[in-house]
A and B are shown apart, each in its own frame.
Chain A
Amino acid sequence: IAGITQAPTSQILAAGRRMTLRCTQDMRHNAMYWYRQDLGLGLRLIHYSNTAGTTGKGEVPDGYSVSRANTDDFPLTLASAVPSQTSVYFCASSDGTSGGNEQFFGPGTRLTVL
């Protein structure tokens, strides 16, 4: 079934540990995105990639890094986790960045940093 998968579904992490959230899509979409969603706030863009081999910073990039080695995968890495990074993380993809190209979302990763 076409779509986006994320792993893990949930994770409890000790502060200071390194963590990579995985995201894979099989729709051959050019653009991919990482968001965090916190209670009472809208989705906030962390990093994005308009095409394989390129990445860009979103609204809240500090403490996070991404890579886009191929079209399908877009991992998000927390180099040294802090409690303020406790959130639900959504990966999304779109065929393009203009017009009516909607973003398709993965099921999310619920991360707790203690």
Chain B
Amino acid sequence: GQNIDQPTEMTATEGAIVQINCTYQTSGFNGLFWYQQHAGEAPTFLSYNVLDGLEEKGRFSSFLSRSKGYSYLLLKELQMKDSASYLCAVRDSNYQLIWGAGTKLIIKP
């Protein structure tokens, strides 16, 4: 079967750095996405990785290792508005997205 694993919840301090991990086992791989979802709102796109390595976009970076079936989202200089759920999704061999359950990130002052 297909499986995406993420921690259920993480807590971090304002101004700090946090890394959210995602491991996957899917039928085929055609890219990995990270989305942010604030409570009661729709998911919004953060990043896309298809090749191994690090993609940096402002305070957010995403890393991919296809051989290990592993990705992480790195958030720097945390702000209170970063409190949200972070969703990892893999595009499988049918070009459909398989979603993890999401990691709820709590930022404390």
Contact = CB atoms under 8 A, between A and B. Distances in A.
Interface of A: 35, 40-45, 48, 58, 90, 97-100, 102-108
Contact of B101 (A40, A45, A106, A107): A40
A45 B91 CA distance: 12
A44 B30 CA distance: 18
Interface residues of B, number: 22
Interface of B: 4, 30-31, 33, 41-45, 48, 50, 87, 89, 91, 95-102
A106 B99 contact: no
Contacts of B95: 97-98
Given A41-B101, A42-B101, A43-B87, A105 B96 contact: no
Contact of B96 (A45, A100, A106): A45
